[in-house]
Amino acid sequence: MSRPDVIRSYVAIGDSITEGIDDGSGPGGAYRGFADRLADHLGSFTPDFRYANLAVRGRRMRHIFGEQTEQTLEWRPDLVTVLAGGNDVLLPGRNLDRLGEQFERGIRRLRDAGLRVVIVSGHDTGWIPVLRYYRGRIAVFSMHMRAVAERTGAEIVDMWALTSLADPRAWSEDRLHMNSDGHQIVAARIADLLGVPMGSRKDWEDPWDTPPREVPRILRRRENRRWARQYLVPWLSRRAMGRSSGDGRLPKRPALDYLHDEATRLRMARALDEGVG
């Protein structure tokens, strides 16, 4: 088995999921997310690893394949992850075939520049009240993503195929974003695809030793009503008004910079030299 290419630079582009919303496991409770987790893992293999995360919550494809892609092409990293389209697919009246064409143009630009691209496709919302009505649209767009990967030579991680993400324990209270466990599942799946596993296959395929807790129907209904008032209605209202929770926000890692400080890079380099010697 050939050894995977060393990845020395990584840029993540996308929206709130790539930004890491609701994975508050970073320093001081800061959002971390699958991209940060993947970067930490990839950075453990090389001292001079560099990482940027250009994702911002609420961003649509025109942003992701606009300014985020332009900056990525300027840097020409070894790896790009792309999670895009969720905020477009959920808008009423958007033509999914045209969105698929827009997605392909964006991916093709990255691939034509010689970049290694990993697409992260949509997840199954069948278990989520109200959002299950978008299930068909998400499924169709995910098939467009798979076709784009096939035509462009991009790699793809299909979140729909990750049955572990159909478990409520992988999601935060708002049911729109993954929690720390969910982000870890996605990061581990991408690492496995890249040939640098974070652990065993079970860690991302079946991370829990027990089934989900069964909640009585009356309590589920009460919880669903509370969730709709607290999270769903405000989310739908913002979209109806053309607003986003990311308006005015900047990326959390806007520069392709070293993941490790200078002292850590020197220490890692010495350890690698001693290992080779």
Strand partners, 156: 119
Q: Please enumerate in sequence order all residues whose Cβ is within 8 A of that of 82, keeping only pairs 6 or more positions apart, or say none.
A: 13, 14, 64, 106, 107, 110, 117, 118, 119, 120
Q: What is the pLDDT of residue 277?
A: 44
Structure tokens at 104: 């392909």
Tell me the residue type at 267: R
Q: What is the mean pLDDT of each run of 10 residues along the chain (277 residues)?
A: 74 97 90 97 96 95 97 98 92 91 98 98 83 88 97 96 92 89 97 96 91 72 74 71 74 96 94 73
- Dihedral (Cα; 186, 124, 178, 48), 10-degree rounding: 20
Q: Mapping DSSP to helix (H, G, I), strand (E, B) and coil, where does residue 9 land?
A: strand
Nearest alpha-carbon partner for 15 in 38, 44, 35, 45: 35
Q: What is the pLDDT of residue 1?
A: 36
Q: How far apart are CA 42 and CA 26, in angstroms?
A: 17
Q: What is the pLDDT of residue 44?
A: 95
Task: Say which CATH class 9-207+254-267 falls into.
Answer: alpha beta
Q: What is the pLDDT of residue 215?
A: 66
Which tens digits make up the pLDDT trace of 63-97?
999 999 999 999 999 999 999 999 899 887 889 99
pTM score over 0.95: no
Q: Please enumerate in sequence order all residues whose Cβ is within 8 A of that of 116, keeping only pairs 6 or more positions apart, or say none.
A: 7, 78, 79, 80, 155
| Count of beta carbons in the 10 Å neighbourhood of residue 62 | 12
Q: How far apart are CA 1 and CA 255, in angstroms?
A: 35
Instruction: Give me the residue spans of the domains in the chain.
Output: 9-207+254-267
